[in-house]
Amino acid sequence: MSTLAPPQALDTSGSARAVTAGRATPRRLSALAVGGTLLLLLLAAAVVGPLVSPYDPISQDFDRLLQPPSWAHPFGTDNFGRDVLTRVLHGALIDLRIGLLAVVFPFLFGSLVGAIAGYSGGLLDAVLMRAVDVVTAVPFLVLVIAVVAFLGPGEVNVLFAIGGVGWVTYARLVRSEVLREKGLEYVAAGRALGYGRWRVVLGHVLPNAVPPAVIFLASDVVLIILTTATLGFLGLGVRPPAPEWGMMISEGREFLASGWWVATMPGFACMYTGLTFILLGDGVADLLRVKGQ
Amino acid sequence: MALLAYALRRVGQAVPVALLVTVLIFLLIKLLPGDPAAAILGERASDSAVKVLHRQWGLDRPLPVQYAVYLRNLFTGDLGQSFRYRTPVTDLLPRRSTVTFFLVVYSTLLSVVIAIPLAVVAASHPDRWPDHLVRGLITLPLASPSFWIGILLLILFALRLGWFPASGYGEGLGGHLRHLFLPALTLAQPLLAILTRNLRSALIDVQRTTYVDFARAKGLARRVVLVHHILRAALLPIVTLIGVRLSYPIGGAVVVETVFALPGLGSWMVESILARDYMVVQTLTLVFALGAMLVTLVTDLVYPLLDPRVRLG
Amino acid sequence: MHMPRSIRVALALAAAAVLTWIGSAPLSSPVAAQAMKKVIKFGVNRGAENLDPVTQDANPDIWAFMQIYQQLVRVNVKGDGYEPDLAERWTTSPDGRTWTFFLRKTAHFSNGDPVKASDVVWSLKRAHDTKGPWQWALEAVEDIQAKDDSTVVIHLKEAWAPFLADISLFSNSVMPEKFFKSATPEDISNKPLGSGPFMLVDWKKGEELTMKANPYYYEKGLPKTPELRIRYIPDDSSRIIALQSGEVDGIDYPPFSRIEELRRDPKLEAQLNPSTQVSHLSLNIREAPLNNVKFRLALAHATDRAAISKAVCFGNCTPATTFLPMTTVFFNKDSKGNAYDLDRAKQLMKESGVGTPVTLKVMYRSNDAIHQSTAVALKEMWGKLGVNLELEPIDRAAETQRYRANQFQIRITGWTNDIPDPSQLASYALGFTESQSYHSGYQSKEMDALIARGLRETNLEKRRQVYYEIQDLALKDSPLIILYYSPYTIAISKKMKGFVQMATGPWIFKDVSVEE
């Protein structure tokens, strides 16, 4: 294959953009714009909804069990007579909080570890990656069960467990990208030109290595919300009667036939959130890509 | 050969890692509150009955002794006995492993087979309607819990249409393929979505670079450009993600195994932890650790094959 | 850039071909020519782990090995009397201390060996001597002897009222001495050998248990169907789908929320079988505020059992009154229990002197949806008294440990009578010696005396009075708060005939036949 390297890092004058002028950049931002709008709507609903709703998300009404959607209850009621829409809205904040908190640390920490490992190579790489191996080897569920057994159930402990294990994927992703970038000539060229090691890493290697991690992060947020559902499925999730979407889906699956709305409505909420974050992730990754050029 | 030397070095590093993992898990599971003897005899068992089992299982000896016994047995191939089933772990392991292995490979293949065309379609028309359609199609199952997808697939394909069986592992290769199709499809969802998006992003990336334009300018046929340059460069993150996925056979598989009643390692692991079936947990963890390291090693070895610019640390 | 049409078409064709191939592989189906199926397939929510009658303690194990083993005497289906099983008849000495059982001569183990009195003696001695969860069943026994090959004589320490119930317990199954004398515990658990209608043929642990007819079973013509497969399908929805799609002929424990829907299915039959089950809250009364009896009574009266039954069982359970399951002998039908009365509860709360708000923790098994629903409902109800209930779902093993170590305040749990006699539950739940009264710490001289009398009083009416007093005292002292009685749920295909479930729980498959 030719020795031509993609002129991404060195050329900051925008000539790369000139080459690809055919694809108008404004279209790229549309993912970011749409995702951002969806997120704002979600946040608005999460904040305003609970204030506006006439129902309490926890109080039970034994005369109104499993009512189908109606004007009084747009999302119906669940097996305790609680209004599903209100619970979904209250759950938005809980799930956003869980999803974001549980990715921030893994993303930052994992990317850093991966970048260092990939760039340094040698012993440091070996040690870090073997540490990654050890963490990977501990089955996630063992860890969660252990955390719950020692510290009790609840949101914080679940975050703890997820965060402790989740950084590994980011480390691996970023490391593989850094390995690839490392071999590119612009890096050697940069060094030859006298750019400091850190400047090369932070200014050029990292931005190009990180997009796959960002894209994964978008999916990861959603996966984490679903992990809480799985933990609920296994009986290890957030403490009831908290209206967390994952728990609602898990508890509601028993009623798929008699009250499909109980599990499906939070499921739609998950899907909406998933789409939001995926679009955001794509948008941010595109931005990073453009910036790195 | 450099690659061989690297591989051997990694295998050498694997041993201390594996040992470290066994110690960690040994301590973790022993420190968990909950007594396997009481779990098995039931909550009404007398204290003396519990003590008898402790002695029988060697649980009354100090922890370091227990670990030493475990290691010694390990090296003679004795993986211990399952407290729950009163059967050697080695008797129970083969069938369970086959089921999970089959499932994971099947689902990974499905993910890849479905992701590639989807990503190509999306990357060919970035930000236009095919791209949005693909993105929507993969987001929906991605953002749904796997047990939900599993149950919906069961209702549609097993119950309504009757195309696939509702539970179990089946007999014979054809039987296994049929019984495992829906579970594998369910398990494939997250990886499918992630692969599609990453591949799409990488394809768009590579498309934009000048060497592709140069190659086209040189007159190379479109097909050649596609296969040789684009896919190759984009495969790196794909391989990483597949590697990550293959080394997590338990996490995703538990739910699927439970919903589809498959006797695999994932559900066995969870049940054993809940029952404090120590020997099973330790054996399974060791198996997973070794498996995970093997997969990581293979993906690391594959990187330079895919992209000669990658140099191994 | 455009994916060439040819590639797209090829991919589509390939996908279609693969799907067709997979979908067209023949379904394994029973031979269409027979009128009756040769195999009964039954889906269960928990798999069997240990088939040794003496050391196991889980319903899936019991209900499975009850197809394989027999006892001297068998509880009847309704759960209020006894029938001959391996013993054709029996006699009691006038002082009630000696029981003589006459074995039927036609019973054989599935390896062809006849069932002899020596087998009975060996099995019962083993059950008596092994430290297991069922030792209490033979605690009154002093000596067991074989007078001849078909006569067993049992000497008791004293006249014992529930003896027939005790001897009918599944842990007192008759096992072949020759075969098991020198066997390891593992072998006894994995390779059962009994005289019952079925014998174990294959056991894929955690997957499926296969049994075939015992060719030497003494009842001619039974079992009606020669093969029985018990398949483990843990997820409720999947198990129901397996039934609806015909993959299994019957299932256990469909959730209460699905019973209505299953009833409406023309191909299926939903059963709510009377059980010896009672759900209740175990209280730890050693410390404040639960050591205050008025507080406990306030909680009891603030519990709307009808509402819980609605929420948790969808109306299929019966609000409970006394601590005994309602199918038990000497259950007091006229007792009102500590019925729901919020005003009375508030009054008692005031009288108790416990200041509000007060926080209590309720512990329960984390993967149990029913317990969870119960906890959520209670939180709401007791909130009206100013009690803040915190939920603590914990995994099974950890929960068992905390319970045995008395490290809990309130625990959601339940009890199933294994014998149709109130003595088992009374001793365990209210008597201090066995379990510190269900680990509550309740110790009442009056109660202990009543329990002791109940075990020894052989006059039926007098015994009834004793147990009525026990029930009333339990309500007055309230070391437990009783919730509801729930039936067993079963769903079978209408093609399955002859299925019976005993009130104590075990299924009876020997009379079952399934139409094609």
Tokens of A178: 């850094």
pLDDT at C13 over 70: no
Tokens of B168: 């179990």
For chain B, positions 243-282, list CB contacts with chain C under 8 A.
258-261, 263, 267-268, 271, 274-276
What integer pLDDT is reported at residue C213 of this predicted model?
A: 95
Instruction: Enumerate the β-bridge partners of residue C272.
Output: C489
Minimum Cα–Cα distance from B263: chain C residue: C207
CA distance to partner chain B, nearest, from residue C71 (Å): 22
Is ipTM beyond 0.85? no
What integer pLDDT is reported at residue A21 of this predicted model?
A: 39
Could you give the CA distance from residue B111 to residue B118 in angstroms, rounded to a whole number?
A: 11
Question: Which range has the worst mean pLDDT, B37-41, B243-247, C182-186, C266-270?
Answer: B243-247
Q: Does B151 touch chain C (CB under 8 A)?
A: yes
What integer pLDDT is reported at residue C378 of this predicted model?
A: 93
Strands C250-252 and C39-44: parallel
Could you give the CA distance from residue C450 to residue C466 in angstroms, rounded to a whole number?
A: 6
Q: Does B212 touch chain C (CB under 8 A)?
A: no
Q: How much is the average pLDDT of C281-297? A: 92
Burial class of C20 by CB neighbour count within 10 A (0 to 12, 13 to 18, 19+) = exposed
Q: What would the pLDDT profile of B131-171 be if each residue is shown by its tens digit?
A: 878 877 887 777 777 777 888 888 888 888 888 888 888 77
What integer pLDDT is reported at residue B228 of this predicted model?
A: 65
Q: For B147-156, give one letter per residue: b (16+ CB within 10 A) or e.
A: bbbbbebbbe
What integer pLDDT is reported at residue A289 of this predicted model?
A: 65
For testing contact with chain C, the best of A61, A64, A236 (most C CBs within 10 A)? A236
Q: Does B260 touch chain A (CB under 8 A)?
A: no
What integer pLDDT is reported at residue A238 of this predicted model?
A: 76
What integer pLDDT is reported at residue B1 of this predicted model?
A: 65
Closest CA to C46 of C368, C303, C474: C368
pLDDT at C81 over 50: yes
3-state secondary structure of C1: coil
End-to-end CA distance of chain C: 58
3-state secondary structure of B296: helix
For chain B, positions 42-81, list CB contacts with chain A under 8 A.
none
What integer pLDDT is reported at residue C62 of this predicted model?
A: 93
For chain B, positions 225-244, list CB contacts with chain A under 8 A.
229, 236-237, 239-241, 243-244
Q: Does C244 touch chain A (CB under 8 A)?
A: no
Could you give the CA distance from residue C425 to residue C326 in angstroms, rounded to a whole number?
A: 13
In the block, residue with structure tokens 């301590």:
B27
What integer pLDDT is reported at residue B22 of this predicted model?
A: 84
* Size of the A and C interface in Cβ pairs below 8 Å: 67
What integer pLDDT is reported at residue C118 of this predicted model?
A: 95
What does pLDDT average to in each consecutive run of 10 residues of chain A (293 residues)?
29 34 48 83 86 83 83 86 90 85 88 86 85 78 75 78 83 84 68 68 73 78 76 74 82 79 85 80 71 52
In the block, residue with structure tokens 């002129």:
A7
Q: What would the pLDDT profile of C424-438 be if each residue is shown by its tens digit?
A: 899 888 988 878 888
pLDDT at C484 over 60: yes
For testing contact with chain B, the best of A179, A228, A250 (most B CBs within 10 A)? A179
Entry pTM: 0.84
What integer pLDDT is reported at residue C11 of this predicted model?
A: 62
B310/A179 touch (CB, cutoff 8 Å), yes or no: yes
What integer pLDDT is reported at residue C15 of this predicted model?
A: 57
DSSP, res C51: -
Could you give the CA distance from residue C104 to residue C151 in angstroms, rounded to a whole number?
A: 9
Question: What is the helix (H) or strand (E) element at residue C250, kind and residue range?
Answer: strand C250-252
Q: How much is the average pLDDT of C103-116? A: 93
Could you give the CA distance from residue B239 to residue B242 in angstroms, rounded to a whole number?
A: 5
Using an 8 Å Cβ cutoff, are B296 and B7 in contact? no
What integer pLDDT is reported at residue B308 of this predicted model?
A: 67
In the block, residue with structure tokens 């997979």:
C22
What integer pLDDT is reported at residue A186 of this predicted model?
A: 63
More confident residue, C249 or B6: C249
Listed as own residue / partner, the contacts of A118-124 with beta carbons closer than 8 Å and 24 or more positions apart are: A118/A174, A118/A175, A118/A176, A118/A177, A118/A178, A118/A179, A118/A182, A118/A209, A118/B313, A119/A178, A119/A182, A119/A201, A119/A205, A120/B313, A121/A182, A121/B311, A121/B313, A122/B313
B248/A136 touch (CB, cutoff 8 Å), yes or no: yes
Q: What would the pLDDT profile of C446-479 be if each residue is shown by its tens digit?
A: 999 999 999 998 899 999 999 999 999 999 999 9
Percentage of residues in chain C with pLDDT exceeding 70?
93
Low-confidence ranges of chain B (pLDDT < 70): 1, 208-238, 243-252, 306-313
Q: Does B123 touch chain A (CB under 8 A)?
A: no
Q: What would the pLDDT profile of C365-408 be if each residue is shown by its tens digit?
A: 887 888 988 999 999 899 999 999 998 888 888 888 899 999 99
Phi, psi for A221 (deg, rounded to 5): -55, -45
Contacts of C380 in chain A (CB under 8 A): 58-60
Q: Which amino acid is at A265?
A: M
More confident residue, A208 or C161: C161
Q: Does B187 touch chain A (CB under 8 A)?
A: no
Residue among B33, B48, B151 minimizing CB distance to C398: B33
